[in-house]
């Protein structure tokens, strides 16, 4: 009896789970399933319409290393004269993300003012709005403000926000609390009647922070390539932001190079002016000495002395030239002990240690000056940069002293050899010996003057061939 009941129960259970029986039961509740599907699709559609889609904008930049081949002699000369660092991918990636560059992009494109067309589910950002909001006179610290703008009648603009409810006309300034003096300007396109627009006004600092978070700047697979990506809801606007960033980066790089060249050129011109006066005075002394002592031509002994010592005189002139340049640089640096000026390093091409220190010093100066455009002297970053500049300045002075000591030893050695040669010719008249001493000083001054003239011309030419250190190989 019990066995029959168990068999009957199992049969009924199996019948319940047959496919046709299951479908029959589900079909009886079909409206619940349809309602669930519709609700799910409705929620998905609402979320999709509510959320703002983001688009990926990308570009690739190749960093040109001045130490590699493929450059003209002039651009290689520029790297020597300006003492710019070889453009490494890591350094340039950091520069591309600096606040200074981002802030210049925000200001140039006025990204702190955004325009939207109000929608039922979400507002759609407009890149080419039918009107413009111009901040005529901003307050010190701008607070975020959202304005609803309507064009109910021609030249009558309705503005509403949590702090404002008024009607204004085009080109008529008005006060907006937390922002400053603002006016509405006409754009190329005309606003649509009975359409509500929303304008968001924010501080430049807030927009810069947001923009920095939207960029991803990473080294590419190639050694000299940087990949730059930006997420933005408006593709065309994202492309313009990326193009502006690269444009400002290139301009900053060229301006830095020009500033280094200008600094070297100004230093050289100042020295040339001083040397010109010394040479003029020395030439007058030589002419007066010859006239007083009636020296018209050299004796045979003097000619022999000049012939035997010419090699040592040339070597001495080169060493004296370098010593004079080092002394001038030392005076220049001591007058700018606080590290407020760029130091030219093109004049000391034989000392790689000093050139590297100058390169570091000038990079710190440029970085500090860029940051000072948005922060004050008391900012911790500026304080730290000033400390690094002071430390580097001390190291440069120590390096100069070391170089001067080394050149002083070389000069003493050449002078000893020169005196030995002069001692072999005993019969040179005293007046002619004195004249030869004056002529030697003149030669040294002339060597220095020619050296500086050459460097000045090279520096001036370098600006003509001043090219950026990067190439946009894959524009956005």
pLDDT at residue 106, rounded to an integer: 93
Could you report the per-residue pLDDT of 98-132, keeping only the tens digit for each?
A: 888 888 899 999 999 999 988 777 788 888 888 89
pLDDT at residue 183, rounded to an integer: 92
Could you report the per-residue pLDDT of 263-285, keeping only the tens digit for each?
A: 777 777 777 777 777 777 766 66
For residue 435 the two structure tokens come to: 């004249």
Could you report the per-residue pLDDT of 128-146, keeping only the tens digit for each?
A: 888 899 999 998 888 999 9
Residue 377 or 78, more confident: 377
pLDDT confidence tier of residue 9, bands split at 50, 70 and 90: very low
> How far, in Å, CA of 342 to CA of 365, rounded?
7
Mean pLDDT of 320-325: 79
pLDDT confidence tier of residue 431, bands split at 50, 70 and 90: low
Instruction: Let me know if 295 is exposed, middle or buried by CB neighbors in 10 A (0-12, 13-18, 19+).
Output: middle
pLDDT at residue 70, rounded to an integer: 37
Q: Is pLDDT above 70 for 216?
A: yes
pLDDT at residue 283, rounded to an integer: 66
Q: Is pLDDT above 80 for 29?
A: no
Could you report the per-residue pLDDT of 146-187, keeping only the tens digit for each?
A: 999 888 776 788 888 888 888 888 889 999 888 999 999 988
User: Percentage of the chain surpassing pLDDT 90?
Assistant: 9
User: Percentage of the chain surpassing pLDDT 70?
Assistant: 70
pLDDT confidence tier of residue 201, bands split at 50, 70 and 90: very high
Could you report the per-residue pLDDT of 432-458, keeping only the tens digit for each?
A: 556 566 666 777 777 777 777 777 777
pLDDT at residue 240, rounded to an integer: 92
pLDDT at residue 72, rounded to an integer: 37
> Helix 235-293 crosses helix 430-464 at what angle (to 10 degrees)?
170
CA 204 to chain centroid: 19
Using a cut of 0.85, tell me whether the model's pTM lies above it. Answer: no
What is the DSSP annotation of 406-431?
HHHHHHHHHHHHHHHHHHT-----HH
> How far, in Å, CA of 115 to CA of 132, rounded?
9
Helix, strand or coil for residue 151? strand
First to last CA, the chain: 84
Q: Are strands 165-168 and 156-160 parallel, antiparallel or unpaired?
A: antiparallel
Q: What are phi and psi of 260, to 5 degrees?
A: -65, -45
């Amino acid at each position: 009896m019990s066995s029959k009941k168990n068999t009957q129960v199992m049969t009924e259970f199996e019948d319940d789970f047959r496919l046709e029986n299951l479908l029959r039961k589900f079909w009886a509740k079909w409206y619940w399933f349809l309602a669930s599907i519709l609700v799910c699709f409705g929620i998905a559609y609402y979320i999709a319409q509510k959320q703002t889609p983001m688009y990926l904008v990308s570009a690739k930049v190749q960093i040109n290393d001045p130490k590699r081949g493929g450059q003209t002699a002039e651009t290689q000369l520029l790297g020597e004269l300006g003492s710019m660092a070889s453009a490494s991918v890591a350094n340039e990636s950091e520069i591309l993300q600096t606040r200074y560059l981002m802030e210049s992009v925000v200001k140039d494109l006025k990204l702190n003012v955004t325009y939207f067309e109000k929608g039922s589910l979400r507002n759609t950002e407009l890149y080419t709005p039918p009107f413009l909001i111009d901040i005529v006179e901003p307050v010190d610290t701008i607070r975020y403000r959202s304005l609803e703008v309507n064009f109910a009648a021609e030249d009558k603009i309705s503005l509403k926000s949590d702090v404002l409810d008024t009607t204004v006309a085009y080109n008529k300034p008005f006060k907006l609390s937390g922002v400053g003096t603002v006016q509405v300007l006409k754009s190329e396109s005309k606003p649509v009647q009975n359409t509500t627009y929303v304008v968001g006004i924010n501080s430049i600092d807030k927009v810069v922070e947001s923009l920095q978070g939207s960029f991803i700047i990473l080294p590419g697979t190639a050694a000299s390539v940087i990949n730059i990506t930006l997420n933005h809801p408006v593709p065309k606007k994202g492309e313009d932001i990326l193009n502006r960033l690269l444009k400002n980066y290139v301009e900053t790089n060229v301006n830095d190079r020009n500033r280094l060249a200008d600094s070297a050129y100004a230093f050289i011109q100042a020295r040339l002016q001083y040397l010109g006066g010394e040479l003029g005075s020395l030439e007058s002394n030589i002419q007066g000495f010859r006239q007083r002592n009636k020296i018209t031509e050299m004796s045979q002994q003097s000619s022999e002395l000049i012939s035997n010592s010419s090699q040592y005189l040339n070597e001495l002139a080169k060493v004296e030239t370098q010593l004079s340049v080092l002394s001038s640089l030392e005076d220049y640096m001591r007058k700018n002990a606080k590290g407020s000026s760029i130091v030219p390093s093109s004049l000391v091409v034989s000392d790689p240690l000093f050139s590297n220190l100058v390169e570091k010093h000038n990079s710190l100066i440029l970085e500090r000056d860029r940051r000072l455009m948005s922060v004050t002297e008391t900012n911790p970053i500026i304080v730290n940069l000033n400390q690094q500049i002071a430390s580097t300045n001390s190291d440069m002075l120590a390096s100069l002293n070391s170089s001067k000591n080394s050149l002083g030893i070389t000069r003493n050695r050449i002078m000893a050899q020169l005196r030995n040669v002069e001692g072999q010719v005993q019969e040179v008249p005293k007046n002619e010996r004195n004249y030869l001493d004056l002529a030697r000083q003149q030669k040294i001054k002339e060597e220095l003057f020619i050296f500086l003239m050459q460097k000045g011309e090279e520096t001036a030419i370098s600006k003509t061939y001043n090219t950026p250190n990067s190439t946009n190989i894959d524009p956005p």
